[in-house]
Every structure is written in C-alpha cells, then in structure tokens.
A and B are shown apart, each in its own frame.
Chain A
Amino acid sequence: MLSIHDLHVSVGGKAILDGLTLDVPAGEVHAVMGPNGAGKSTLSYALAGRPGYDVTAGTATLDGADLLGLAPDERAARGLFLSFQYPTEIPGVPALTFIRTALNAQHKARDEPEVSAPNFLKLIRAKAADLKIDFDMLKRGLNVGFSGGEKKRMEILQMAVLSPRLAILDETDSGLDIDALRIVADGVNAMRGPDRAMLVITHYQRLLDYIRPDAVHVLAAGRIVASGGPELAHELERAGYDKYAKVAA
C-alpha cells in the first residue's frame, strides 16, 4: 500500500533521509525504530508534505499513486493520516468544528456526500466515548490547554473519525502515562484491518507491547539498516542502537 523507494530528504539544506526504502502492505502494521536524530520525524513529515522538508530524490506512493507531488490536504484526501508527535493548538476553533470541517473537506475531495451534522455527532460521540474523551472537551479550542495525554487521544479520535487508508503514528507514546498509553493503543488496535496500513514510529519498544507490529525496521542515519519481526524490537531494547550506528556509518 505504502511504497517508499530510495527517498532522500533535506531540511534547511541538510540531508536527513539518505536513500530510505520501505514497503508497508495493506493490513499490516510496521514499526520504525531508531535513535534520536536518525530521521524518524523527517520521514513522517516528508510523507505528509510539510513545507521545508525537501524531497531531493526518490519516490513514495500510496496505492500505486505518487504522494510527493501532492499538497498536504490532497495526501490526506487520498487516505494519509499523520498523528503528530506534538499536536498543534488551534485557538478559537472547537475540536468538533475542526474535525467536521476536515471530514467534509476529505469527502468533497473524493466526491463523496457531505456527512450531516446529526450523523457526524453520532459518529464522534461514539468514538470519543471509546477513547474516554469527555464530550465537553470537543467544544473547546482544539488542543488548547489540553494535557499531553489528551492531545494524543485527540489525535487518535481524529484518526478514528477520518478513517484513513494509511496511518503514521509519530512517537504517539511520548508523554503518555501507562493508562493513557493503554487507551491510545486500544484505539489504534481497534482500527487495524485488511484495508488499512499503519506505520508506527517510536524510539522505545514499550509502545510495541501494546501495538504488536507485523514487522520492525531500524532507521539509522537516514536509511533502513535492518528489518525483522517483532523480536527485533526486543533485541533493540536490550542491546541499544549502537551497532546500527556503526552499520550506517
């Protein structure tokens, strides 16, 4: 479903990704692990189309169609969702308004009918309850004054409502206590399915105890330097990233 080939990305003229190749088939959850500075967040931002992340070579396709030539909103409409490591605060725009605007913008881009207000409310009420998000919180400015855990739950809520083809979870475990981690992981696991792929980006193996990946990749110095099954995450937890730093160099 997601196919990345020989991707090179620079930020501010500095090369960060250096020939990254990765395939995530439909129905699978892949984890990308790596030390700080390896390029994990750059990978997620480059796939989402963040300005300032310049693709200098390589390709990335979703369902066979090029992603890199599209604007961020067009990528979203094709089914790409990024759960941000640091979700942005949007003062003055209630979460409800924001999510409904996003959902209907995606529907419009795909020539699908608009979701009516009552149907939207029904949908988001159910999803919010699953994630133990107080409905009143959805009437407040999106992420404004939310705790780290609340912001992450709000990301997963948006993912649940927008129902993407490909979800990229960038350090979704950072800033979460164990209870919040379990709620978030349950939310993510509920969305696993044969038509959806997920890319879980994390520094620590902890999250992968809750979201069991089908495959684990090690990202070091801008490239995938090793791939394996879930056991690879445990090995990394034990031995650290040192040996991969040498491989990359």
Chain B
Amino acid sequence: MSLARAIETGDLAELPSRRDEDWRWTDLRGLLRVLPGPTLADAAAPTTGPFAAVAAHRIEIANGRGETHYAVAKGRSDVLDLRFLSTGSGSHVARFTIEIGQGASLRLLESHEGAAADYVREIDLAITIGQGGALDRVVLMADCDSAISVVDATVTLGVGARLSQTVLTDGAKRQRVETRVVNPGGGASVRLDGVYLPAAKRHADITTIVTHTGVGGTTDQLVKGVVRDQARGVFQGRIVVRPGADKTDARMGHHALILSDRAEVDAKPELEIYADDVACAHGNTVGSLDEEALFYAGQRGIPDGDAVAMLTRAFVGEAIDRIEDAAVRGVCLSWAQGRLERP
C-alpha cells in the first residue's frame, strides 16, 4: 500500500489512510477522492536548483521521467546534484537506485522542486552503501502549496559504512519524507537529521525507521521543527534494535516550537530494543519560544519579529550545523533563514 501503487494502478484503495498506524497523521485516502491523470510537462523547469553552485554533476528527473540509476565505483568519491522536478499538474512516480561501492563516497544533494500546482507524486529511492562506504545526503523539499508529495528512501548500509542525512522541508498540502535505514553494525554509523518549517496550511511529515541488525552500530538523530499559522508538523522516529545487535548506540532527539495557537505538532519517538547490551536514549520536546529571551532581545532594541526570527534560526541551526560541508551548510542555513523570515 502506497501512494506510488495507487498512482500506478489507479486504485484509490491502495492509498495509505488514517487507519494505518504509520500514516494516521498523514492521511492520503481522505484527501484524494480522485486520482489525477499522468503529469504532462506544461511548465518549464527552473534552470538551476538550490545546489547548482555546490555540485558539478547533475541529474534531472522531470515528472517521473529520466534516468533511474546512479553508481559510484569502488573507492571513488562523487558529488551529485539530483533534482526531481514537477512541472505540471497530474500524478507521477519515479524510482531511482543508487549504488555506492566499497569504500566509495557520495555527497548527494537532492532537491524536490515543484514548478506547477496540483501535482500528486511519489519518489522512491533505493540506496545501497558498500562496506566502508559513505553517503552524505541532503534532501531539500520545495513543493508547492497544493502538492501531495511523498519521498520514500530505503538505505542499506554495509559493515562499517556511514550515512549522514539531513532533510529540510517546509511541507506541502500534504507531504511525507520517509527514510528507512538498515544498520548492520560493525562500526556502521547513521546520522539522521531533519528540519521542518511549515507555515500557512502546509503539512510536513518526517518519518524515519532505523533497524540495527548487527553488533556495534550507531544512530544519532536530531530533528527540529518550527511550525506556524495553521501548519502541521509530524515526526515519527523509530529505532529498532534486533536481537543480537549488542553494543548498539542510538540517540534520538526531536524538538519543536509551535508559534501559533492553531499550529500543531504530532510526534512519536519509538525505541524498540530486543538486545541487552545497548545504549539508547531519546528526548522529545514541543513548546513555545522562551518569553524571557524575547523580552531580553526586545530590551536590547531587537523588534519582536526580528527576535523570533533570530531565536528560531538559532533553534534549527543546531541541526543544520551538523552538516559537515561548509558550502552545503551555507545553502541550508540560507534556506532556513528565508523560511523563518517570512511574515
């Protein structure tokens, strides 16, 4: 059951609904009464994406059409600007596989850009990282207000491999970015961060599931959200430690600020631990901005709107600062600043 299957089969019964535990906050069946026909390209794609300045190699997949595979050969190191474009209304699905060879590394700068209105789409990625390989993945969601959009990625790590991921989103009419990770241990490490900043009536869902299957893997997660107006943020984070996955070290943090009475955040952090010798922790907070800090900033002459922008930028900056590459981090910080300074 998925949006992709519903689009491909035309069967609305394939849509996830609020009756599915994992989709109860991001209901699609109640929202989509009719599936639109396939997207025909009717708008020009923006010529450059958000990562144009920081990546040399680019792949563009417009309305589900384009390349389907990318590989990084053993021992090599690549930077890829991967753009998924929606340039017309209607529905489309794209599937893309990425194979990172043994000891190879990829910096994947992935953007999902909506240049049209009223599209419905799902993008599925299947990524494998070979033994000792590394993936730095930054996902920037730029869907339009009326989009229904799902990104579903499965990342399978080899022993000793590394995944460092940051998802940045301001939501859509309904949007979910889901990442499922298999961590086999043996020194394999996962960083799975996210920032969601929806405003107006937008909906942003960051869902992650990490399964530790072997001895000695780590997961470190920090997700931060700022939700305004009548927007809704959803965070579902599950970390599963399978029997025998001893010496697993897993840490999950989710912290959100709600800036309006009509905004909403739904959070479900879950640790399922079936091994004995593990170190796992999670922290989850949802609240409003510190009134004392706002008054302090005001007393120094900083107007309320500017103070809110400054404090929220600092709040989400903590997650963005974990992106290692300075140029990529800069793109992400200015993206966040742009979202937070909107009136």
Residues in A lying within 8 Å of B, measured CB to CB: 48-51, 71-73, 75-77, 81-82, 84, 87-93, 97-99, 101-103, 105-106, 109, 141, 158, 162
Contacts and interface: CB of A to CB of B under 8 A. Distances in A.
Contacts, number: 77
Contacts of A162: 300-301
Nearest to A50: B295
B310 A93 contact: yes
Contacts of A141: 314
Contacts of A158: 300
Give the residue among A51, A89, A93, A141 with the most B Cβ atoms within 10 A.
A93
Contact of A92 (B295, B296, B303, B317): B317
Contacts of A76: 298-301
A88 B293 contact: yes
A47 to B, nearest CB: 10
Given A92-B314, A93-B311, A105 B296 contact: no
B306 interface: yes
Interface residues of B, number: 22
A75 B303 CA distance: 11
B298 A90 contact: no
A103 B290 CA distance: 22
A60 to B, nearest CB: 15
Contact of B297 (A82, A89, A90): A90
B301 A105 contact: yes
B302 interface: yes
A90 B314 contact: yes
A84 B302 contact: no
A65 B35 CA distance: 64
Sorted nearest first, the 8 A-B pairs with minimum C-beta distance are: A92-B314, A72-B298, A76-B301, A102-B300, A106-B301, A88-B296, A105-B301, A73-B298
Given A71-B298, A84-B296, A93-B314, A51 B291 contact: yes
16 contacts: A51-B295, A76-B301, A82-B299, A88-B293, A90-B311, A93-B310, A93-B314, A98-B297, A102-B301, A102-B302, A103-B301, A105-B303, A105-B306, A141-B314, A162-B300, A162-B301
B296 to A, nearest CB: 4
A49 to B, nearest CB: 7
B277 interface: no
A88 B295 CA distance: 9
Contacts of B96: none
B292 interface: yes
A82 B295 CA distance: 11
A211 B299 CA distance: 23
Given A51-B295, A84-B296, A92 B315 contact: yes
Nearest to A104: B301
Interface in B297-326: 297-304, 306, 310-311, 313-315, 317-318
Interface in B264-299: 290-293, 295-299
A101 B310 contact: yes
A55 to B, nearest CB: 16
Contacts of A50: 295
Contacts of A81: 299
